[in-house]
Structure 1
Amino acid sequence: MRDIHGIHHLGILTRDLDGLERAYTSFGFTLSPRSRHLLGGRPGEAPVPGCTANRCALFGGSYIELLGIVDESAPDPWRTKAMADEYEGFRLLNLDTDDAEAADRRLTGAGLRTSGVLELERDIDTAQGARTVRARAVHIDPRSTPEGSVGIAQHLTREYVHQPRYLGHPNGARGLSAVLMVADDDEFDAIRDRYAAMLRTAPGRRGPVAVLDAATARLEIVRASDAEEVLPGEPAPASSYLAAMTVVVDDVDHARKTVENGGTPTRTVGDGFFVSARHAHGAGLFFAAD
């Protein structure tokens, strides 16, 4: 039985949360209201007000987090400011679990260094009034994940996050099906093997891309020397990096018109289309029907 099922959420980090919100609204995403984070820095430590806030494009299972540093003077127990100092953009990959403690035990048993289980809270409005979102997270030691900030996350109050009123999107988006990362040629084998161990799955191939299937999504990894074949003309912010995500939509043509009517150019990719990371605050966006 798998303790990691797929994508919990993907995060785009910025110091310009207003601009990031405007861009993703123009793409046709409905965003949840802005919410400040309460973060715990160590296992068992009570969460404290942190330097970040977010808005989210929610799909009922997974979501895109628009994560902004909104108070430079506030505590930063998850070292978000240092991450932004390196570069802003698609920086966070969180995989989904129903049991953070069990996942943490298995990953540490497999030789991965982790943060242990951390607590996260944030207050939000619901149709029933103010409520506190609670979650658990396990961070993989960032020294072993050059591609980005990688973790495992567990909802404790999923119903407060994925509220029905935020699940309808003008572009018809209904989920996340894949993450594409670029790996430095010398790091490719180690990155691929690490995710294979995390997901308990053997990698397959699709052209130059290694594909690892989880229960509800897939991870795709391409060597930096082959990246131009998959992501022609796209920026490379680091030697290894999270490059793009695939958004599943009801109708590709409708989604494309929505994005283009918002002022963003697109290009055809297979049966879907692509928005460059240059226009999406550092996260390439594939839109596909499935």
Structure 2
Amino acid sequence: MPRDITHLHHVGHVVSDMAQAIALYRRLGFHVPPPSVPALAPREGAAPEPFGAANTHADLSRNFVELVTPVKPGHTAGLPPDTRIVPLQAPPEKLPVLLSRIEATSAQLGGWRDRFEGLHILMFSSPDVDGTADRLTAAGVGHGGVNTVGRPVETPEGVRTEPVRYLEINGAPEGRVGVVADVDPEFQHTRHLDHPNGAQDLVEAVLCVPDGQLPLFRERYERYLGRPVSAEGPVTLMTRAELADLLPGEAPPVLPALVACTVTVPDIARVRALLAENGLPARETGRGEPFVPAEAALGAALIFREA
């Protein structure tokens, strides 16, 4: 039977200072464009003010790592000067609902950031998100149904809106977990894939769970994925003791927590040299792969795997 969840769509790294986070990811060897943030005029005739959440992506071949931070109305501290302000455009009757959703998202991001700075978003990719929604419902997994949002995308023809269809699973204590429709091929040419570190694919998210709860989390993720959790990914579940074997020195501040993600690269030696040149520490995983520890990467360890 074909799998309706095939790989990771993205992980979300919630940060306090977007400018600092972008600088870090560029030192890690990623191409990261300036962030975008929605804006709304506080009164008629006034200039739009940023609010809600600012985000940007390190795009990979079929997925991405998202950097995101909550933004209080009119507050731009921590946003780089080249942040793209996106004025909200919506019919007046729909604006209150849109504002409510953006404010709820911002509050949720703020809560996660206060819990710890790091990974709080885990989204899987599906070629048939409607079919995935039906399967999850049949498996007793609560979710909010399939929604569609528009994402502004810079193209040679100007800014276009990419439709993004997704669902969010209810009640995951580790953060936002859900499923997104595969990246639209029509917008593939707009993605920046020329990373200095050669990054190609996001292949694994590592979730550390409390002792004694591993079977519960495994059963839950097997229902999410529709198949057994395996060493091939896209999610690796482990206890704190197992995490110490995989990522020596890592100690999540709270549990459960998404503690790391893995990207593939064509040349590990090139990555090691880049990290050393940029003054970033590289430890060795229990699998023999280099990783940058969470303490040097704003709370989220980054593993590099040779493809």
Q: What TM-score range do you get, normalising by the shorter chain?
A: 0.7 to 0.9
The 8 Å contact of residues 172 and 249 in structure 1, kept in 2 or not, is answered as: yes
CA deviations 1:159-203 (Å, max 9, x no partner) are 43x435611100111111211111112321111111112222224
Q: In 2, Cα distance between the equivalents of 1:9 and 1:156? A: 10
Give distance in 1, aligned partners of 2:190 and 2:154. Answer: 13
* Cα distance per residue 1:104-133 (max 9 Å; x no partner): 121122111112122222222112211112
TM-score by length of 2: 0.80
The equivalent position to 1:234 in structure 2, one of 241, 250, 270, is: 250
Q: Does 1:140 align with 2:169?
A: yes
Of structures 1 and 2, the larger Rg is shown by 2
The letter for the 2-side match of 1:276 is P
Higher alpha-carbon deviation: 183-192 or 72-81:
72-81
Aligned to 1:197: 223
Whether contact under 8 Å (2:284, 2:290) holds in the other structure is: yes
Corresponding residue for residue 54 of structure 1: 55
Q: Does 1:266 pair with 2:291?
A: no
Distance 1:260 1:12 in 2: 23
Matched, 1:169 2:195: yes
User: Is 2:125 the partner of 1:96?
Assistant: yes
Residues 75-107 of structure 1: per-residue CA shift (max 9 Å, x gap): 323332232232221111100012222211211
Query: Which blocks of at least 5 consecutive residues in structure 1 are unaligned?
Result: 39-48, 205-210
How far off its partner does 1:11 sit? 0.7
Equivalent residue number for residue 208 of structure 1: none
SS at match of 2:24: helix
Structure 1 residue identity aligned to 2:210: D
Q: How many aligned positions are there?
A: 267
Partner of 2:87: none
Q: Considering only aligned residues, what root-mean-square deviation do their CA atoms show, in Å? A: 2.2
Specify whether residues 84 and 23 from structure 1 end up closer, same or farther in structure 2 by C-alpha distance, changes over 3 A only: same
CA–CA separation in structure 2 for the residues paired with 1:203 and 1:130 = 39
d(CA) in 1 for partners of 2:56, 2:276: 22
Higher strand share: 1
> Structure 1 158/9 Cα, relative in aligned 2: closer, same or farther at 3 Å?
farther
Question: Residue by residue, what CA displacement relative to the aligned partner does 1:34-64 show, whole Å, maximum 9, x if unpaired?
Answer: 22369xxxxxxxxxx9611211111120111
SS at match of 1:253: helix
Q: 263-272 vs 125-134, which deviates more?
A: 263-272
Q: SS state of the match for residue 194, structure 2?
A: coil
- Deviation of 1:6 after TM superposition, in Å, equals 0.9
Per-residue Cα deviation, 1:230-272 (whole angstroms, up to 9, x for no partner) = 2222131212111111110110010111122112111233443
User: Which residue of 2 is the match for residue 181 of structure 1?
Assistant: 207
Q: Secondary structure at the match of 2:110?
A: helix
Extract unaligned runs of 5+ from structure 2. Answer: 40-49, 75-98
* Other structure's SS at 1:32 match: coil
Aligned-pair identity in percent equals: 30
Contact 1:91–1:149 under 8 Å retained in 2: yes
